[in-house]
Amino acid sequence: MTELPATTQRKLGLVIDLDTCVGCHACVVACKGWNTENYGAPLSDVDAYGADPVGSFLNRVHSYEIAPTGGGCSQTVHFPKSCLHCDTAPCVTVCPTGASYKRSEDGIVLVDESACIGCGLCAWACPYGTRELDQVAGVMKKCTLCVDRIYNENLEEVDRVPACVRTCPAGARHFGDLGDPDSDVSKLVAERGGFDLMPEQGTAPTNKYLPPRPKDRLTAQPVDISSLTPVAEEPKGFLGWLDKALEAL
């Protein structure tokens, strides 16, 4: 149903910590592995061993460099990106078939593959590049927020989190209800100044990004090096200090 729900009971989503992500692509491949075996058609790879391999992935990690505004050395940021489960998801309203929809109970944006004609319009409407048309199945693929894990009673309670979150070695990915201000993820967003991607697009994304912490402070500001005051200027003096220091032990 391509009408967006007026409100959703919960706003499940991811919070991604750009200060901690080391760019290892673990989340990318865990997602590929889970979603190849679960939800919908397997994620295909075309020309898999050839000159121009193209496969469907629901999560990808870009890397950027930042030249800091105030000068200083370049910073590198690894930047994972999957569907942000937007509140006013333009990908949903453009869909002619109703295959794209946003769930009213938890805000997850999904594609009902059995209804999808593979027109690609939703991918055009998404500013973030998080929908990929599967070249073999001809249906639109996107992050499901692992809807088939997070409620899955065949999984242990601790494992009812998205595959990418479970696997992230650095703990840079957090999953929870961003609609509940008391949830861990909401608190994290509040504490760390979590932000939206391309707010000007008016998509009201659910997923949030935590900014990299300030870097390279040991040159950017006067550093206190008083702890390095020499105990003596002369080598002899050093031994004198040593003697005293040993007495004090």
Partner 1 sequence: MHPAPSVIIFTVLSGLGFGMLAFLGIGVLDVQGVAAFMPFAIAFTFAVSGLIASTFHLGNPQRALRAFSQWKTSWLSREAWLSAATLAVMGLYAINVIFRESTIAPLGWLGAALAVATVFSTAMIYAQLKTVPRWNHWLTPVYMLTLSLAGGAILAQQTAAALLLLVCASVAQLLHWIFGDRRFAQQGSNIGSATGLGKLGKVRLFEPPHTGTNYLLKEMVHVVGRKHAQKLRVIAFVSMILLPIAIVATWPGSLAGTVFAAGFFVLGTFASRWLFFAEAEHVVGLYYGKHDR
Partner 2 sequence: MASPNPTLDTSPKVSDEVRKTTCYMCACRCGINVHMKDGPDGKKRVAYIEGNRDHPVNKGVLCAKGSAGIMQVNAPSKLKAPLLRTGPRGSGQFKEISWDEALEIATSWLGPLRDNAPEKLAFFTGRDQSQSFTSYWAQNFGTPNYAAHGGFCSVNMATAGIYTMGGAFWEFGQTDWDRTKLFVIFGVAEDHDSNPIKMGIGKLKANGGKVIGVNPIRSGYNAVADEWVGITPGTDGLLILSMIHLLMKAGKIDLNYLSRYTNAPCLVNETPGSPEKGLLLRDGTGKPLVVDRKTGVLEPFDKAGINPDLAGSVDMDGATHRTVFQHMAEHFLSEDYTPEKVSDRCGISADRIRALAAEVARVAFDEAFELDQPWTDFRGERHEKMLGRPVSFHAMRGISAHSNGFQTCRALHVLQILLGTVEVPGGFRFKPPYPKPVEAHPTPHCKSQPKCPLDGPHLGFVRGPQDLALKEDGTPARIDKAFTWENPLSAHGLMHMVISNAHAGDPYKIDTLFLYMANMSWNSSMNTSSVMDMLTDKDENGDYVIPKIIYSDAYSSEMVAFADLVLPDTTYLERHDCISLLDRPICEADAAADAIRWPVIEPDRDVRGFQSVLVDLGVRLGLPGFVNDKGEAIYADYADYIVNHQRRPGIGPLAGFRGDGSKSGRGEVNPDQLNRYIENGGFFVEHVPEEAAFYKPWNTAYQEWAVGLGFYDKPQPYLFQLYVEPLRRMQLAAEGHGDRQPPDHLRQRIIDCMDPLPIWYPALEDREIDEDAYPVHALTQRPMAMYHSWGSQNAWLRQIHGMNPLYVPTKIWEEKGFKDGDWAKVTSVHGEIRVPVAHMAGLNENTVWTWNAIGKRRGAWALEKGAPEATKGFLLNHLINELLPPKGDGLRWSNSDPITGQAAWFDLRVRIEKSRPRKHSKPTTSSQVSPVGEGPTIVQKKVEA
Choosing among ligand SF4, partner 2, partner 1, none, which partner's interface includes residue 82 (Cβ < 5 to 8 Å by kind)? ligand SF4
Name which of partner 1, partner 2, ligand SF4, none residue 89 binds, using a CB cut-off of 5 to 8 Å depending on partner kind: ligand SF4
Using CB under 6 A as the binding rule, whether residue 103 contacts ligand SF4 is answered as no
Q: Contacting partner 2 (CB under 8 A), which of 62, 76, 96, 190?
A: 76
C-beta of 200: minimal distance to partner 2 in Å?
27
Burial of 148 (0-12, 13-18, 19+ CB in 10 A): middle
143 near ligand SF4, judged by CB under 6 A: yes
Cα separation of 164 and 129, whole Å? 18
Give the count of beta carbons closer than 10 Å to the beta carbon of residue 165: 23
Instruction: Specify the DSSP class assigned to residue 58.
Output: S
The region of 25-33, 83-91, 122-130, 195-203 touching partner 2 under the rule CB under 8 A is: 25-33
Give the helix ranges, DSSP H, for 171-229. Answer: 184-192, 217-220
Binding mask 208-227 for ligand SF4 (x = CB under 6 A): --------------------
CA pair distance 61, 32, nearest whole angstrom: 13
CB of 123 closer than 8 Å to CB of 132 = yes
Cβ closest to partner 1, residue 219 vs residue 226? 219
Distance from CA of residue 128 to its chain's centroid? 12
In the complex with partner 2, the residue whose CB is nearer, 200 or 230, is 230
Shortest Å, Cβ 204 to partner 2: 19
Q: Among 4, 43, 140, 189, which residue interacts with ligand SF4 (rule: CB under 6 A)?
A: 140
**Identified binder of ligand SF4 from the candidate list 8, 56, 130, 183, rule CB under 6 A:** 130
Comparing CA positions, the residue from 197, 212, 223, 215 lying closest to residue 85 is 197
Sign of CA dihedral 74, 189, 187, 78: negative
Annotate each residue in 189-228 with x if it binds partner 2 (CB under 8 A) or - if it does not, as one string.
-----------------------xx-xxxxx---xxxxxx
